Amino acid sequence: MKRVAILISGGGSNMLALLDSMAEPGHCGMPCLVASNDPQASGLARAAERGVATAALDHRRFGKDRPAFEAELHRIITDHGADMICLAGFMRVLTAGFVTPWSGRMLNIHPSLLPKYRGLHSHARAIEAGDAEHGCTVHEVTPELDDGPILGQARVPIIEGDTPETLAARVLTMEHRLYPAVLRRFAAGDRTQLFLP
Ligand code: GAR
């Protein structure tokens, strides 16, 4: 069994999809912690309701001292016996100092068809560019932002009249399918790419 720590910053709908999936038979992962950099993140209460250990580490307490924040986050995660980390809407950039020790053991979901639209506002940027399709990517985390080996992608058409909000909602539905499917495979040692639909 792989013990999985999930890091969130907000509502945690992807986190809930991962918890639901890990509760299914035959999964090689089990949740050991849901942690957030924002003590107000509503996902924390939703995880606690499901009996998963939670932790809040307010990054604002650390001011500009990113290494100190990351060292404390690492300590909390290792204290919970995590074997791997899933970033699920975790909106802090993590430096090489944090990422390197978790190399090959940390996944992220990003709302674009990487390598397109790293960083923020990916939905607006895809619409602005006149793209015919958009989507989401699950990848291994490396020190470069939204980079690292791609483990899965799901595509979503961009339709006439889409706004960043309508498109984001459609992509999120696919995120909830893609991320659990990739984690299930990854936890079992399968790093081959998965493409949906
Ligand atoms: C998701 O769309 C996720 O892909 C995105 O934040 C949202 C979190 O929603 N992540 C990023 O933009 C990371 N750069 P959730 O809290 O409901 O899972």
Tell me what pLDDT residue 78 has: 98
194-196 and 133-140 as β-strands: parallel, antiparallel, unpaired? Answer: unpaired
Which range of residues forms the domain containing residue 127? Answer: 108-197
Q: Which residue's CA is minimally distant from atom 7 of ligand 1?
A: 89
- 3-state SS, 134-146, equals EEEEEEECCCCCC
Residues labelled as active-site residues: 110
Are 33 and 113 part of one and the same domain?
no
Ligand 1, closest atom to CA 14?
A: 18
Instruction: Note the pTM of the prediction, 2 decimals.
Output: 0.98
Q: Of 71, 102, 133, which closes a domain?
A: 102
Ligand 1, closest atom to CA 16?
A: 18
Count of structural domains, the chain: 2
pLDDT in tens, the chain (197 residues): 999 999 999 999 999 999 999 999 999 999 999 999 999 999 999 999 999 999 999 999 999 999 999 999 999 999 999 999 999 999 999 999 999 999 999 999 999 999 999 999 999 999 999 999 999 999 999 999 999 999 999 999 999 999 999 999 999 999 999 999 999 999 999 999 999 98
**Angle of CA points 156, 162, 163, to nearest 5°:** 115
Name the DSSP class of 90. -
84-87 and 150-157 as β-strands: parallel, antiparallel, unpaired? Answer: unpaired
Tell me what pLDDT residue 150 has: 98
Distance (angstroms) between ligand 1 centre and the Cα of 110 equals: 7
Are 182 and 135 part of one and the same domain?
yes
Ligand 1, closest atom to CA 171?
A: 2
Q: Which residue's CA is minimally distant from atom 8 of ligand 1?
A: 89
Which of 14, 19, 147 gets mutated to test ligand 1 (max ligand atoms within 8 A of its CB)?
14
Give yes or no for a contact between 101 and 74, defined as CB atoms under 8 angstroms apart.
yes
